């Protein structure tokens, strides 16, 4: 079991990310903008790619990622306010355009395919305690803001907060896992009327899914992000069945 200690930074980031992704995912589902997290994650990744192409440092790369995600958040907020009936379609189009632009940007790069794979699948197993400190501070701060003032940070400043959280999440966890940890639990518990029980069920399902996915990834030498995605997708129905019994 001692060898599993190497997974602690990745597990810590995942559990801290889950704290904020659960309420954000419920709000995304409530608003009917399912693909917004994919689009914002891809926009953030595109900003990081451009910074990398220009040879900028890690701080500049994170700033570029946040800038692109922030612009996307402002655009989507305006879109929801004025063109709600086509908002989801435009959000999906934005994802496709930003994803293909990222592919075109690294097409001539010798490690372009590897870079795209890292963005989609993440580098969770390589997370360090420094990543935990930086990302964890963002996740905990955002969680406190949401639970302290939900009418402000889940309503008025929802898009801004979502952009910041997703920019932080996608740097380590990748686009696939960011989407799964936001949407899978929210969809699985969407029929539940009791908000408190719904949150607890989502937290439990995502926590166990994260743990199982990481262990599976480690022992079978598989990408951590996709493994955790499947872990969450399998554990959510199990938690729901246990609750119903």
Encode pLDDT of 4-14 as tens digits: 688 899 999 99
Q: Provide the residue-wise pLDDT of the chain in tens; the chain has 245 residues.
A: 555 688 899 999 999 999 999 999 999 999 888 888 889 988 988 888 888 777 777 788 888 999 999 999 999 989 888 888 888 889 989 989 988 888 888 887 776 677 778 788 888 988 899 999 999 999 999 999 999 999 999 888 999 999 999 999 988 898 899 999 999 999 989 888 888 899 999 999 999 999 999 999 999 999 999 999 999 999 988 877 766 65
Statement: the pTM of the whole predicted model exceeds 0.75: yes
User: What's the angle, vertex CA 224, arms to CA 179 and CA 206, rounded to 5?
Assistant: 50
Q: Nearest Cα to 5, choosing from 215, 170, 242?
A: 215
Q: What is the DSSP code (8-state) at residue 156?
A: I
Q: Nearest Cα to 227, choosing from 216, 238, 241?
A: 216
Q: What is the CATH number of the domain that holds 8?
A: 1.10.3470.10
State the pLDDT at residue 244: 63
Phi/psi-derived region of residue 221, left when phi > 0, alpha when psi is between -120 and 50, beta in every other case: left
Q: Crossing angle of helices 58-82/87-105, nearest 10°?
A: 150
Range of the domain at 30: 2-244
The dihedral through the CA atoms of 174, 178, 181, 184 has a sign that is negative
Residue in this structure with the two tokens 């409530």, named with its chain if needed: 30
Question: On the CB side of 186, how many CA atoms lie within 13 Å of its CA?
Answer: 22
- Beta carbons of 135 and 169 less than 8 angstroms apart: yes
Gap between the Cα atoms of 23 and 31, Å rounded: 13
Per 3-state DSSP, what percentage of the chain is helix, strand, and coil (rounded to 5)?
85, 0, 15
- The total number of structural domains in the chain stands at 1
Contacts for 234 with CB less than 8 Å, ≥ 6 apart: 209, 212
Residue-wise pLDDT for 39-51, tens only, equals: 998 898 888 888 8
């Amino acid at each position: 079991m001692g060898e599993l200690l190497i997974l602690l930074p990745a597990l810590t980031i995942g559990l801290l990310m889950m704290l904020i992704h659960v309420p954000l995912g419920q709000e995304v589902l409530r608003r009917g903008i399912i693909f917004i997290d994919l689009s914002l994650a891809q926009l953030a990744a595109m900003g990081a790619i451009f910074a990398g192409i220009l040879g900028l440092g890690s701080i500049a790369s994170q700033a570029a990622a946040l800038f692109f995600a922030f612009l996307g958040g402002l655009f989507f907020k305006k879109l929801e306010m004025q063109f709600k009936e086509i908002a989801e379609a435009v959000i999906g189009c934005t994802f496709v355009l930003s994803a293909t632009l990222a592919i075109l940007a690294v097409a001539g790069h010798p490690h372009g395919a590897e870079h795209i794979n890292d963005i989609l699948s993440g580098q969770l197993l390589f997370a360090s305690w420094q990543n935990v400190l930086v990302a964890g501070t963002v996740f905990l701060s955002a969680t406190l803001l949401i639970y302290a003032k939900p009418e402000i940070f889940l309503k008025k400043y929802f898009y801004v907060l979502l952009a910041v959280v997703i920019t932080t999440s996608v740097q380590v966890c990748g686009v696939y896992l960011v989407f799964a940890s936001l949407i899978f639990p929210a969809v699985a518990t969407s029929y539940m009327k009791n908000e408190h029980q719904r949150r607890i069920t989502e937290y439990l399902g995502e926590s166990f899914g994260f743990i199982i996915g990481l262990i599976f990834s480690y022992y079978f030498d598989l990408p951590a992000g996709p493994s955790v995605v499947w872990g969450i997708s399998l554990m959510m129905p199990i938690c729901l069945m246990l609750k119903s019994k």
